[in-house]
Structures are given as structure tokens and as C-alpha cells.
């Protein structure tokens, strides 16, 4: 049942209100679509089968009951997409084409990575912020500038051509979360297959898990202030959890521990670390 929209356009508001009240009185309680459909005009093939015919067919076992829509297994879709990527360029393309993460809708750019993929050190951050979302590159804001200075202190830079003097950097999430909120566990889980493939393709000697989101994605746990500074293993290689540079900007006293962690990285790379 419905009112043709062209006749609606001719009505004044009292008439439209009266027509609406009439429909409510007649038991209409839901708007199904914007345009009314005159089902008497539909060709037979498109007209819905009369209800009695459907229940008779169901009773006779001729028609299957309507299937409940199945929930998509998004991490499985992500695993398949990530598995198709044979190199970093195709991994990036697979991530660009992945439409199951809500964060993508609110982001300007996919933030994939920066630095030298031949470097022995791969840093995994959390998620892009506003500056990274604009630039399409990870860690370019204030926290990123601090990170660059920290790594420069042990002789590493993202721009270095010589792999041994370089680092490579990415994030768990390639899209900026609204208002810089923490990514949810569901979001982390759906992007984890891409991160794992990213690590496989870069194949760094060591990983740095920078902050809680990164520890969640790589180690399955949070608690960066407890985890930091202790080498562990993930994705078949050593991982050092470190406090995020954004935390260090807010808590300068924690820079002392971060410095100890940097010395640990340098020693590891020289082959005489723990
Ligand atoms: N914080 C992150 O974890 N990643 C970025 O790219 C920027 C800030």
C-alpha cells in the first residue's frame, strides 16, 4: 500500500498529514521503499508468488525456507587477500581493495609504510594520526619526528640507502581511526593477516612493537609499560616492545627507559645483544 509520490507533490501539508493518518489507521507501520510499486503492473515473472502457493510448496518440500544471511568471516577474507600478495606493491593493492574495515571510509589515504624494505629493523606502530592521514606516510607528525631523532641516535634513518643504516616502518592499522581513538580488537584482528604478510615479505632481522596496539597484534597482549624492554619472539623473529613516541612526548621521564631499549637494539644488530 502506498501513496504515489507525484500525487503527494500536489498535496498541501494538511492533506499529506491526513493521507498519512489514513495509512496508519489502515495498519501501515513501515516504509519499505521511497517509490510505491504497483504490483498489479509487474510482469508475472517478477510478481511475488502468492503466500498460499509458497507455503504449499514448502510443505511439499519443493522450496527451501529462506536462508538466514551468513555473517562474513572477515579475517578469513583478509587472509586470502594477504596470501595473494607476492610483493609489497601487490600487498598494498590488496589493502587498497579491502573494503571490510570501517576505518577506511573515514580516512583520506591508506598509510602503507616508509623507509627501506631491505633494512634489518622493522618498526610496527599503531595507526595513522591526522598528519599521516594527510601525507599517506606513517610517523610524519610530532611523534614520528621524535622517533626519527631516537633512531638517528643509534645510526638508523628511514631515508638511508644502505640497509644496515636504515629502518622500515609501518602500522598495524593502515587507516586513521576517528578522533585518533584506539583501534578495536576486531579491527586489529581483521588487519592482522596483512601485517603478517607484510612482515614475511620484508623479512626483517628484528621487529619493534611500538605501543599497545602493536603488542596486541604481534604478541596478543597489552601492557606496554610491563612488556617494554624485554625481548620476545613473534612471526619467527626477535621482537622488542617499546613505548610509543607519543607516550614519550607526554611523559618525558620515560625517555630514559626508551634510551636503554635503543641501546639494546644497537647491541642486537651488532650481534652482541641478549
Ligand atoms: N602513531 C602511530 O602509531 N603511527 C603513525 O603513523 C603515527 C602516529
pLDDT of residue 23: 73
Cα(243) to centroid(ligand 1), Å = 12
Q: For residue 148, what pLDDT band results from cuts at 50, 70 and 90?
A: very high
For residue 126, being part of any structural domain is answered with yes
pLDDT, tens only, 100-112: 999 999 999 999 9
Q: At what angle do helices 185-202 and 74-84 cross, to 10 degrees?
A: 10
Q: The CATH number of the domain where 155 resides is what? A: 3.40.470.10
pLDDT of residue 44: 62
pLDDT of residue 72: 87
The tally of CA atoms less than 13 A away on the side-chain side of residue 151 is 28
Give the strand pairing for 167-171 and 206-210: unpaired
pLDDT over threshold 70, residue 32: no
**What is the count of structural domains for the chain?**
1
Q: Please indicate whether residue 144, judged by its CB atom, sits closer than 6 Å to ligand 1.
A: yes
Domain region containing 202: 76-270
Average pLDDT for residues 124-134, to the nearest whole number? 98
Cα radius of gyration (the chain): 28
Q: SS3 string of the chain? A: CCCCHHHHHCCCHHHHHHHHHHHHHCCCCCCCCCCCCCHHHCCCCCCCCCHHHHHHHHHCCCCCCCCCCCCCCHHHHHHHHHHHCCCHHHHHHHHHHCCCCCHHHHCCCCCCEEECCCCCEEEEECCCCHHHHHHCCCCCCHHHHHHHHHHHCCCCECCCCCHHHEEEEEECCCCCCHHHCCCCHHHHHHHHHHHHHHHHHHCCCEEEEECHHHHHHHHCCCCHHHHCCCCEEECCEEEEEECCHHHHHHCHHHHHHHHHHHHHHHHHHHCCCC
Q: SS3 string of 87-103? A: CHHHHHHHHHHCCCCCH
The tally of CA atoms less than 13 A away on the side-chain side of residue 183 is 31
pLDDT over threshold 70, residue 51: no
For residue 246, being part of any structural domain is answered with yes
For residue 30, being part of any structural domain is answered with no
Q: Please indicate whether residue 148, judged by its CB atom, sits closer than 6 Å to ligand 1.
A: no
Q: Please indicate whether residue 171, judged by its CB atom, sits closer than 6 Å to ligand 1.
A: yes
For residue 112, being part of any structural domain is answered with yes
pLDDT over threshold 70, residue 31: no
Of 3 and 117, more confident = 117
What is the residue-averaged pLDDT of the chain?
A: 89
pLDDT of residue 264: 97
Name the closest-CA residue to atom 3, ligand 1. 126
For residue 52, being part of any structural domain is answered with no
pLDDT over threshold 80, residue 60: no
pLDDT, tens only, 228-273: 999 999 999 999 999 999 999 999 999 999 999 999 999 999 997 6
The residue count for the chain: 274
Cα(45) to centroid(ligand 1), Å = 56
Strand, coil or helix: 169: strand
For residue 141, being part of any structural domain is answered with yes
Q: Please indicate whether residue 115, judged by its CB atom, sits closer than 6 Å to ligand 1.
A: no
pLDDT of residue 12: 79
Q: Do the beta carbons of residue 240 and residue 264 sit within 8 Å? A: yes
For residue 56, being part of any structural domain is answered with no
For residue 109, being part of any structural domain is answered with yes
pLDDT of residue 1: 46
Rounded to 5°, angle at Cα 86 from 236 and 242:
35
Average pLDDT for residues 121-141, to the nearest whole number? 98
Amino acid at each position: 500500500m502506498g501513496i504515489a509520490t507525484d500525487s503527494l507533490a500536489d498535496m498541501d501539508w494538511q492533506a499529506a498529514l491526513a493521507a498519512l493518518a489514513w495509512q496508519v489507521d489502515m495498519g501501515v507501520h513501515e516504509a519499505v521503499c521511497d517509490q510505491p510499486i504497483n504490483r498489479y503492473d509487474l510482469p508475472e515473472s517478477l510478481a511475488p508468488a502468492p503466500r498460499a502457493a509458497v507455503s504449499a510448496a514448502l510443505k511439499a518440500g519443493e522450496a527451501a525456507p529462506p536462508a538466514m544471511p551468513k555473517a562474513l568471516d572477515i579475517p578469513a577474507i583478509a587472509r586470502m587477500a594477504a596470501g595473494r600478495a607476492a610483493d609489497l606493491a601487490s600487498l598494498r593493492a590488496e589493502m587498497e581493495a579491502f573494503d571490510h574495515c570501517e576505518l577506511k571510509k573515514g580516512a583520506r589515504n591508506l598509510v602503507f609504510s616508509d623507509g627501506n624494505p631491505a633494512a634489518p629493523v622493522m618498526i610496527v606502530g599503531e595507526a595513522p594520526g591526522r598528519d599521516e592521514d594527510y601525507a599517506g606516510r606513517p610517523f610524519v607528525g610530532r611523534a614520528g619526528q621524535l622517533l626519527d631523532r631516537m633512531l638517528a641516535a643509534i645510526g638508523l634513518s628511514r631515508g638511508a640507502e644502505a640497509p644496515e643504516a636504515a629502518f622500515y616502518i609501518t602500522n598495524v592499522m593502515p587507516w586513521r581511526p576517528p578522533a585518533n581513538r584506539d583501534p578495536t580488537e576486531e579491527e586489529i584482528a581483521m588487519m592482522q593477516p596483512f601485517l603478517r604478510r607484510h612482515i614475511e615479505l620484508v623479512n626483517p632481522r628484528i621487529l619493534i612493537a611500538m605501543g599497545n596496539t602493536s603488542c596486541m597484534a604481534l604478541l596478543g597482549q597489552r601492557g606496554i609499560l610491563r612488556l617494554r624492554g624485554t625481548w620476545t619472539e613473534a612471526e619467527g623473529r626477535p621482537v622488542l616492545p617499546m613505548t610509543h613516541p607519543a607516550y614519550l612526548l607526554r611523559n618525558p621521564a620515560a625517555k630514559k627507559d626508551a634510551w636503554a631499549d635503543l641501546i639494546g637494539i644497537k647491541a642486537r644488530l651488532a650481534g652482541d645483544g641478549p
